[in-house]
Amino acid sequence: MNAITRLAAVVSLASLFPLSALAADNPGTVDVLHWWTSGGEAKAVETLKQQIQKDGFIWKDNAVAGGGGAAAMTVLKTRAISGNPPSAAQIKGPDIQEWGALGLLTELDDVAAANQWDDLLPKQVADIMKYDGHYVAVPVNIHRVNWLWINPQVFDKAGAKVPTTLDELFAAADKLKAAGFIPLAHGGQPWQDSTVFEDLVLSILGPKGYHAAFVELDEKTLTGPQMTEAFATLKRLGTYMDPNRAGRDWNIAAAEVINGKAGMQIMGDWAKSEWSAAGKVAGKDYQCVAFPGTQGSFAYNIDSLAMFKLKDANDIKAQNDLAKVALEPQFQTVFNQNKGSLPVRQDMDMSPFDACTRKSAADFKEAAKGDGLQPSMAHNMATTLAVQGAIFDVVTNFLNDPQAEPATAVKQLNAAIKAAR
């Protein structure tokens, strides 16, 4: 039983408390719980705040930094149990369904119909935002997780070639290492370890095998020889990472590539925000390529705001305004330029965006034609937080234990997932 399911046992306590404070002079307040706290993200959120205030409502910012959202989810559960949920909270993937099942999310169908969400959003995205056929969340972007970021100047100095296969990745790493560079910048945190691991699974097992492993949690796939190969490849890749990586934040690792200390980083497209902040230009100062072997696949991570049931009529108006503004072209442009991600609207003019985002948009459309579009396990899109946490533990323990064997890790992975389901 996972944490959100356990919450259902006590969430009835919420009925003992008002869902929002009633105030006669309240023009309407949106209380937004999120973890968009980096420099670029903060700029984007400020734009959203300004638009809400311009529309005559009050913005109450509840930014909770740390843990890739884990700390924010702890705050959210506490508030839900006490009967004081926010107007909106940053919730993603399968967790939207779990919160919807608790009966705490409000329907946004009127806002969606008035603003033609069904026409604006890719069907795969729209389906994730719905519970029991009704919109309960609004998406703000699409991230691609399976990117490899390269410093071309470092590659030139090392005589390395931009890799398109795993064999070429290791060949490039060898040249970078021989030239005195850190081949692969990496932060030793569980979510970063599993970001690399899921890219390897996508590369080695392909999109169908990836889906079987991380969405269907198919035991045959999880215990098969290709999964053993994925662990073995992860272990080998770890030998090219900085041995002092433990606990390092992803943006610190990105800085090593930006500053020419390292040659590559495996990270989602939010890494681009660090390059942009450093005044670097895509295609010139840095290259973004699909992680080797995943060309044609798109592992996605969608940021979204789930809307909670409120009682105050003015607060509900403010909440609906937030849902509307989040999908307006102006916010979509500013937010995603700052965050490095892809606008979620299908009708956006992509000319203001850089080469990496335009490539991401083209790759998303191409992947959507077949089975290449896959939800990220490492970023809360493919499975529950309980299962994700179990995978994180196995992957990180394996990567950090020099004596760990791939075959043993496969058995541990399957057992951990079974226990967490």
Residues contacting 36, CB < 8 A, separation 6+: 42, 44, 45, 63, 90, 303, 339
According to the model, what pLDDT value does residue 138 have? 98
pLDDT of residue 323: 98
Task: For 348-402, write each residue's pLDDT tens digit.
Answer: 999 999 999 999 999 999 999 999 999 999 999 999 889 999 999 999 999 999 9
Predicted local distance difference test score (pLDDT) of residue 25 = 67
407-416, pLDDT tens digit by residue?
A: 999 999 999 9
Angle formed at CA 156 by CA 150 and CA 159, multiple of 5 degrees: 110
Percent of the residues in the chain that have a pLDDT greater than 70, as a whole number: 94
- Give yes or no for residue 65 having a pLDDT over 50: yes
Map 36-84 to HEC letters: CCCHHHHHHHHHHHHHHHHCCCEEEEEECCCHHHHHHHHHHHHHHHCCC
The pLDDT value recorded for residue 13 is 42
CATH class for domain 3-143+301-360?
Answer: alpha beta
If phi > 0 it is left, if psi is from -120 to 50 it is alpha, else beta; for residue 283 that is left
Whether the pLDDT of residue 218 is over 50: the answer is yes
CB count in 10 Å sphere of residue 100: 20
- Binned at pLDDT 50, 70 and 90, residue 6 comes out as low
How far is residue 331's CA from residue 319's CA, in Å, rounded to a whole number? Answer: 16
User: What is the number of other CB atoms lying within 10 angstroms of the CB of residue 73?
Assistant: 22
pTM: 0.89
Tell me what pLDDT residue 201 has.
99
- Residue 103 has what pLDDT? 96
Q: What is the mean pLDDT of residues 277-291?
A: 95
Residues contacting 276, CB < 8 A, separation 6+: 40, 340, 354
Under CATH, to which class is 144-300+377-420 assigned?
alpha beta
E strands along 82-235, which residues? 88-90, 130-131, 134-135, 137-139, 143-144, 147-150, 182-185
Give the pLDDT confidence score for residue 338 in this predicted structure: 86
What are the residue ranges of CATH 3.40.190.10 in the chain? 3-143+301-360, 144-300+377-420
158-197 burial: b if 16+ Cβ within 10 Å, else e: bebeebeebeebbebbebbbeeebbbbbbbbbbbbbbbbb
Least confidently predicted of 11-15, 252-256, 368-372 = 11-15
- Whether the pLDDT of residue 18 is over 90: the answer is no
7-16, 112-121, 276-285: range with highest mean pLDDT: 112-121
- Greatest mean pLDDT among 90-99, 145-154, 246-255 lies in 145-154
Amino acid at 63: A
* Residue 266 in tokens: 């495996």
- The predicted pLDDT at position 28 comes to 96
Radius of gyration (C-alpha) of the chain in whole angstroms:
22
pLDDT on residue 411:
98
Average predicted confidence (pLDDT) for the chain: 93
Please check the confidence at residue 4 and state whether its pLDDT lies above 60. Answer: no
Question: How would residue 198 be classed by pLDDT, with cut points 50, 70 and 90?
Answer: very high
Cβ atoms < 10 Å from Cβ of 404: 16
Residue 11, token pair as written in the block: 């969430």
> Which residue do the tokens 């149990």 mark?
81
What's the one-letter identity of residue 201?
Answer: V
SS3 130: strand
| Lowest-pLDDT choice from 7-11, 64-68, 74-78, 179-183 | 7-11
- Give residue-wise pLDDT tens across range 300-347: 999 999 999 999 999 999 999 999 999 999 999 988 988 889 999 999
18-22, 78-82, 305-309: segment of lowest average pLDDT: 18-22
